[in-house]
Structure 1
Amino acid sequence: MILKWPGLATRAVQEKKNTRGIIIFPTVEEALKGEKVVKKAGYEGKLVAPPPALRKGCDLAVEIELVEQTAIARALQGQVYYIGIYPLEGSAELLQIVKIVYFPEHVMVKAGNMKIVFSKDTGIIVNISGGGCPDVPYLYTKLVGSHLETIPRPQDLGFTLCALMLDRAWEEALAIWKGGRLT
C-alpha cells in the first residue's frame, strides 16, 4: 500500500522555485551599481525586470540565489542603496528583443528603443538613436565615430535604462562584426 500525502509534490516544486530572489533598488543607477557589486563580490547576479507587484520606482532589479542573500547584503552595505531582497517566483527576465536590419553599407541593431548603426566595411559606429533618457546625447557624442571594438561599454558610460539597452545592442553589434555576419 502506498500512502500519498496531499500537496507533497507541489510543496517540493514550490521550494525549488523559491531558491531565487531579487534585490529591489530605487533607481536604475543603483541597480546597475548593485549588479557590479554583486559580481565583484563573487556572486552570480543578473539584471531583470521586477514583477509589477515588487516595483518600487525602478524597472530594474538584480536576480540572485536566496541562499547567498546574507553575504550579498553585506557586500552591498555602504556601497549601494537598495530597498530590499525578496523571494522571486516566475519569470522576471528583461525582454531580450534584439532586432537586426541589414542595409547595403550598414548594420542597425535595435534593443528595446535603442539603436546602434555601424559600417559593414570599417566597424565604425555611424549613429546611435532612440530612447528618451537624458544620457542618450552624451552616449552619442562618446560613441559615434569610434570602432565597435574600442569603445567603453555603454552601460559603463550611462546610468539609465537607455544605456543598458544600448549596451545590449552594442554586444550584438560586436558579435556580428567579430563573427563576420554582415549580410
Structure 2
Amino acid sequence: MSESDQAAGLRKWANLQRQQQGVVDAHDEQNMADDRAASVELPVEAPATPSSEPPPAHTSVRQAPRLPLVVVGLAQASPAQVAKVRARLGQWSAEGRRWAGAPEDWQIQLVPPGATNLTGLVREQSRWALWVDSDAEAFMRGFRALHAMHQAGGPSRLLALHEPGLPRRGLLDNLQVAANYYLGIELLVLAR
C-alpha cells in the first residue's frame, strides 16, 4: 500500500472519529497529528452481528491478524529485543496514541540493516522502524543502519523507536535531519 493511501485512510478514520465524538480538544488534535505522521494502518474490526444463539462451544474465537512491523537497528534478533520493541509500543499506546494499539497486536520482525532481502521486504511490508539507543554511539549506529538499508534498497520512510524520555532535541533531531539530507530517508520522530 502506498504512503498516500495510508495517509488518506488515516485521515478518513480520524474524521469519522471526530464526527462520532462531536468535539475534539487540543490534546486529541495533537494525538491525531501524531497518528497521521506515523502513517500506520489501524486494524478495522467488522461490526458484530446480533445473534439470538451463542456460538457453539467447539468454535474458537478468531483473532484479528497481527500487524507486521519490521525493525532494524537492534544488535541481535532475540526475544528480549522483541520485548523491548513491544514495551515501547505499549508505552505509546498508554500515552493515548491510538495507532499503537495493543503491543500484542504487532508481529515484530527484527532485520539487520544490510540484509540481502530488504528490497523484497520493502515490497511486502509497509511498516518499518529504526531502533535508536541513547548511548554515546547511538547516532553513528543509527546512521550506519540507515545507510546500510539505503544501499540495500531499504525503505524510504521509518518510525524512530527509542527508549522513553529521550528528547527530540539533539540525537533524534540530528538523526532525522541527516537521514533526510544525506539519504533521502524520512525518519518519523514522535518524541516531544
For the aligned pair, the TM-score class normalised by the smaller chain equals under 0.3
The answer to which structure has the higher helix fraction is: 2
The answer to which structure has the higher strand fraction is: 1
TM-score normalised by L of structure 2? 0.22
**Structure having the higher Rg:** 1
TM-score normalised by L of structure 1? 0.23
